[in-house]
Amino acid sequence: MLRTRRGIPITLAIIYVEIATQLGLRIHGISFPGHFLVKLSMHSGPHNGEVVIDPFTGKSLSRDELDDRLVPYKRSQGLIGEFDAPLGLFLQAAPPREILARMLRNLKEIHSSAEDWPRLLRVLNRLVVLLPQAHEELRDRGLAWAELGQTDKAAEDFETYLRNRPDANDSTAMAEQLARLRRGEQPRFH
């Protein structure tokens, strides 16, 4: 019989962590690139060390499997060769704020792809509060405000973004969008 699994790794990981914690086990979420994992610390009897588990499959992952999963991310970030980053760097326990931010960013991607501006705006409002130094969330909220026709709020977010990130790669484009808003023109995002 084929078993169907439901859920996404990060929400399943939260359930794993909660249940394991209630059982007195030491377990943490890991904000692994591309797939949220959990790490169980085993320090009793003959079993010492840590076990990394994929919450979606329930399978423990070997060092080689983890390294294989990291290859695409490392390539995309230029972390191959002399700049190679050790596996342990990617297996650090994620603090609750980071877990919540990752969940919200997953929702942000879903609502942005669907062009569901009201829901996207609600997610971005939460990200702006949760991560006040992540100015790109403020910029993105400004984009959502603009899509919803709230040009004053969009301009305010763009101004704050540009004030805090004048050297950002997109600062020129965002300044142009802000100028369009101030002239009463519809911004062009696509």
Task: List domains and CATH numbers for the chain.
Answer: 9-91 (no CATH), 96-182 (1.25.40.10)
Token code pair at residue 136: 């790109």
pLDDT at 44: 65
Token code pair at residue 87: 């596996």
Percent of the chain topping pLDDT 90? 59
pLDDT at 73: 87
pLDDT at 161: 97
pLDDT at 2: 45
- Determine the length of the chain: 190
| CA-wise closest residue to 164 among 98, 156, 102, 117 | 156
Q: Give the separation between CA 179 and CA 190, rounded to whole angstroms.
A: 17
Let me know: does 127 contact 137? Beta carbons within 8 Å.
Answer: yes
Condensed to tens digits (0 to 9), the pLDDT of residues 31-89 reads 899 889 999 987 765 656 889 999 988 899 999 999 999 888 888 887 777 777 788 88
Condensed to tens digits (0 to 9), the pLDDT of residues 107-140 reads 999 999 999 999 999 999 999 999 999 999 999 9
pTM of the full predicted structure? 0.78
Condensed to tens digits (0 to 9), the pLDDT of residues 2-30 reads 444 455 788 889 998 999 999 999 999 99
| CA-wise closest residue to 10 among 24, 25, 30 | 30
Helix (H/G/I), strand (E/B), else coil: 106: helix
Percent of the chain topping pLDDT 70? 92
Dihedral (CA of 91, 4, 112, 169) sign: positive
